Structure 1
């Protein structure tokens, strides 16, 4: 289940703070999916208070919640954020070079 603070930030960022319960659950699932995707990519520091993690999750949710004509741009932006996080030692368990 998505962190309530992060879920709140995502719903505000998507201008959906008055969503019915069914859509709130869908948004929560998207937040969980974004965090799982980051973890699968090798990002081990998933501190939801970290602004870079929050921004990546928000971008993922923007791309996947009622996708619009901006899907490709948002997906590319999320992929870039994920790539940057997975190359930074503060966000991974990779040994330092």
Structure 2
């Protein structure tokens, strides 16, 4: 998952691996707190949610942060309402 997220963030260096790993774990926890208990890393919607969360929260001068955060919140809400993810 780390390499996939780094690719999505356009990061080639390993300098930010710890920060990105923390963001991945934070996204997974946030999804669980929201009632999404069937969150498998191989599920494309879960992967997209984690990528979007990371894009929203990575970096200090991220001018698209709000856009990605809104997208993540929308996807999270849809996932939490879907029976395939919350049963």
Q: Classify the TM-score, shorter chain.
A: over 0.9
The structure 2 residue matched to 1:9, chosen from 4, 7, 24, is 4
How does the TM-score come out when normalised to structure 1?
0.85
Quick one: distance in 2 between partners of 1:8 and 1:50?
Answer: 16
Number of the residue aligned with 1:59: 52
More helix by share: 2
The Cα shift of 1:19 comes to 2.6
Quick one: distance in 2 between partners of 1:65 and 1:38?
Answer: 18
How does the TM-score come out when normalised to structure 2?
0.94
CA RMSD in angstroms, aligned pairs only = 0.9
> How many residues are paired up?
86
Bigger Rg, structure 1 or 2: 1
Tell me if 1:92 matches 2:86: yes
The structure 2 residue matched to 1:83, chosen from 67, 77, 85, is 77
Structure 1 segments, 4+ long, off by >6 Å, are none
The answer for unaligned runs of 5 or more in structure 1 is 1-5
Quick one: distance in 2 between partners of 1:59 and 1:72?
Answer: 11
Give runs of aligned pairs for residues 11-90 of structure 1, distance below 5 A: 11-20=6-15, 23-67=16-60, 68-90=62-84
The answer for unaligned runs of 5 or more in structure 2 is none
The Cα shift of 1:17 comes to 2.6
